[in-house]
Chain A
Amino acid sequence: DGGITQSPKYLFRKEGQNVTLSCEQNLNHDAMYWYRQDPGQGLRLIYYSQIVNDFQKGDIAEGYSVSREKKESFPLTVTSAQKNPTAFYLCASSIVVPGHLISSEQFFGPGTRLTVL
């Protein structure tokens, strides 16, 4: 059963702590993405990766870091530098069409809701 899994579903963090959100996909997709969703603001791109060992900053990368050591995995670390980390975090993946940057249809995971206490 192919898809994208995110864990944990809910995560609580104390101020000043770094936390890592997991994202795994078995769709054999090359590209992976992290979005942040806040009420009334839609989905904002944090980081994306088109290939293993390479990733690019999105629109709101400050206070976040990622790694892409395996094709299937794209973990996101929310660092203490992120001033307002409470949000719903979504991971997505898509195929890469040869000769183009990123494919259009993105498949999303179920999300992780992060709350800072």
Chain B
Amino acid sequence: QQQVKQSPQSLIVQKGGISIINCAYENTAFDYFPWYQQFPGKGPALLIAIRPDVSEKKEGRFTISFNKSAKQFSLHIMDSQPGDSATYFCAATSNFGNEKLTFGTGTRLTIIP
């Protein structure tokens, strides 16, 4: 079964610090890697996504780093804020994003003052 492995399961970061969440995949056919953010009691929402033709994508304080040879990608949250406290899911799909998504197991991020 296609898998996306996500770590850590939970993460505590001080306000202003950098939060880093890592994902690894096995299927070399994957070609679209989104990150979803989920607040308690809510549905996930797309945060940022990357295709493997670039090694990095930045949107505001959120950056995806992508290492195609290692089959790994990570989410970096710069200047982490209490409002960033949420569960983050990485995901992967193939056919340029047109197949069903395979999700990681999630990381619960807590930003402390």
Contacts from A to B (Cβ < 8 Å): 4, 33, 40-45, 48, 58-59, 90, 92, 97, 100-111
Contacts from B to A (Cβ < 8 Å): 1, 6, 9, 32, 34, 41-46, 49, 89, 93, 95-101, 103-106
- Mostly, the A contact residues are loop
Q: In the complex, how many angstroms separate the beta carbon of A61 from the nearest chain B beta carbon?
A: 13
- Quick one: which of B1, B44, B46, B105 contacts A40, CB cutoff 8 A? B105
- Mostly, the B contact residues are loop
B100 and A102 within 8 A (CB): yes
In Å, the complex CA distance between A111 and B32 comes to 25
- Quick one: which of B98, B103, B106 contacts A97, CB cutoff 8 A? B98
A43 and B9 within 8 A (CB): no
B95 and A101 within 8 A (CB): yes
A42 and B104 within 8 A (CB): yes
- Can you sample 5 A-B contacts with CB below 8 Å? A40-B106, A90-B44, A104-B34, A105-B34, A109-B43
A42 and B42 within 8 A (CB): no
B101 and A106 within 8 A (CB): yes
- Quick one: which of B41, B100, B103 contacts A111, CB cutoff 8 A? B41
Additional pairs, 11, CB under 8 Å, beyond known A43-B44, A102-B100, A110-B43: A33-B100, A43-B89, A90-B43, A97-B98, A100-B95, A101-B98, A102-B99, A103-B98, A105-B46, A105-B49, A109-B43
